[in-house]
């Protein structure tokens, strides 16, 4: 069994986010002139969210990657848990947000009290309450067929990442995007 350092695991999580962003850029955003604006807006939003996740994991690797403790407190109600094959960032109050990376599955999960999102290079899963959708973020036809659902669910998870998690980490660890 190969032992991976905690910093390497955080960098690996960053690379998964970067790979998804690159695939969306290469396969959808690069063809923006031929596509509908609605498809471009969905692809751009996925690109932006994965860029935020990449920056989060990169900043955590730079600031806390050398920590040897499995649980690191980043401040009040904010913790980073690092194991041999999983990274979990937990914000416990006023409501919980959990961002995790699972090495075995190569996916980044963002969970809140009302839903979750799973980002991996080949698929995105979005769920809020009882509405769930899974799609390939590089498949233009699939995005256009599921556009209303994707837009609604991306708005929910986007607000969680962009307006809650990113400002919190900017303040606590000096995250810069």
**Each residue's pLDDT tens digit, 136-147:** 999 999 999 999
Q: Examine residue 151 and state whether it is found in any structural domain, yes or no.
A: yes
Domain count, the chain: 1
In the block, which residue shows the tokens 């556009």? 147
Does residue 15 fall inside a structural domain?
yes
Domain that holds residue 72: 6-173
Q: Could you tell me if residue 101 is inside a domain?
A: yes
Residue whose C-alpha is closest to residue 25's, from 48, 57, 56? 48
What pairing do the DSSP bridges indicate for beta strands 107-111 and 115-120?
antiparallel
25-40 pLDDT tens trace: 999 999 999 999 999 9
Give pLDDT < 50 ranges for the chain: 1-3
**Which pLDDT score is estimated for 84?**
83
pLDDT in tens, 12-27: 999 999 999 999 999 9
What is the predicted pLDDT for the residue at 68? 75
pLDDT value at residue 144: 95
Decide if 1 is inside a domain.
Answer: no
By C-alpha distance, which of 103, 119, 131 is closest to 161?
119
Q: Alpha helix (H) ranges present in the chain?
A: 6-27, 37-64, 140-145, 147-159, 166-173
Enumerate helices (H) and strands (E) in the chain, giving the number of each: 5, 8
């Amino acid at each position: 069994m190969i032992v991976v350092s905690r910093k390497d695991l955080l960098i690996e999580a960053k690379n998964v986010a970067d790979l998804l962003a690159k695939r969306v850029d290469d396969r959808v955003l690069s063809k923006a002139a031929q596509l509908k604006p609605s498809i471009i807006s969905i692809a751009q939003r996925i690109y932006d969210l994965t860029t935020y996740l990449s920056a989060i994991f990169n900043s955590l690797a730079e600031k806390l990657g050398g920590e040897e403790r499995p649980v690191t407190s980043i401040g009040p109600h904010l913790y980073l848990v690092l194991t041999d094959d999983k990274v979990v960032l937990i914000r416990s109050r006023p409501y919980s947000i959990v961002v995790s990376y699972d090495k075995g599955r190569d996916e980044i999960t963002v969970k809140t009290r009302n839903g979750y999102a799973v980002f991996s290079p080949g698929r995105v899963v979005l769920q809020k309450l009882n509405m769930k959708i899974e799609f390939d973020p590089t498949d233009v036809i699939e995005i256009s067929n599921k556009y209303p659902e994707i837009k609604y669910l991306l708005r929910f998870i986007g607000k969680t990442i962009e307006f809650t998690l990113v400002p919190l980490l900017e303040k606590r660890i000096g995250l810069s995007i």
